[in-house]
Amino acid sequence: MNVKVAIIEDDPRYRDSLETLFAHASGFSPAASFGSANAALDEVEKMLRRGQEPDWKIVLMDIDLPGLNGIEATRQLKKTLPHLAIVVVTVFEEPTTILEAITAGADGYLLKKTLAGELLAQLRMIAAGGAPLTAGVARTVLGLLRSTRSNSQSGPSISPGKLDLTEREQEVLQSLVRGLSYKQVAEYLGISIDTVRTHIRAVYKKLQVHTVAEAVARAIREKLV
């Protein structure tokens, strides 16, 4: 497996370090590198006009970029290339920023302080269909969940029963909110990975979402777990 990674990062030193990492890491290769989201979107538009699509598997997206910010760029890229996996890599740990990113369609949210080995492990997870969240971000997501549950002013929640989520589907969804990978969900629930994937497809259909991140965002926002 060769995972082609596009990098959108305005810090040239960090961008160069990522390019070097993917050039030497087994199973990865740097496919494109941009100093702004505008430049990346322009390149995608040019390729689409030529009848081509980028061969990128994953995009690493900074948030604080010149011009178009990473959250809006994620939203636009997902609209154009919904199959593209976008992982936010940033210094921002604020709950509202995390929620904005995953609501925009980000498939994962990692921090720049993540060590190289852990970053590669998380990206291998997403290439296999997982949704990477560093431990700190996962704790923040859980905090958001607890906050929305305790906030009586947030309005009534939607019962999982009204969405026809089975008990097992609720368990799978709750595991995703905790930041578990497909393999970890399977081990935690004592079921096969194929069964986990079947439940996740059912959850996607019932929640009308297309990614793990979108499912997590809706679960948090509507207190489904």
- Whether the pTM exceeds 0.85: the reply is no
pLDDT at residue 51 in the model: 95
CATH number of 3-134: 3.40.50.2300
pLDDT at residue 130 in the model: 65
Domain ranges of the chain: 3-134, 156-222
- Which pLDDT tens digit goes with each residue over 19-33? 999 999 999 999 999
Q: For the CA atoms of 50, 54, 55, 61, what is the dihedral angle to 10 degrees?
A: 170
Evaluate the CA torsion angle 20, 27, 36, 105 in order and state its sign. Answer: negative
- Which pLDDT tens digit goes with each residue over 44-93? 999 999 999 999 999 999 999 999 999 999 999 999 998 899 999 989 87
- Give the mean pLDDT of 145-171: 64
Residue 103 reports pLDDT greater than 80: no
Q: What DSSP line would sit under 55-74, residue for residue?
A: --SEEEE-SS-SSS-HHHHH
138: tokens are: 């996962």
pLDDT at residue 138 in the model: 59
Span 156-222 CATH architecture: Orthogonal Bundle (1.10)
Phi-psi group of 129: left, alpha or beta (phi > 0 → left; psi -120 to 50 → alpha; rest → beta): left
Contact 133, 179 (CB under 8 A): yes
- Which pLDDT tens digit goes with each residue over 186-205? 888 999 988 998 999 899 88
pLDDT at residue 21 in the model: 96
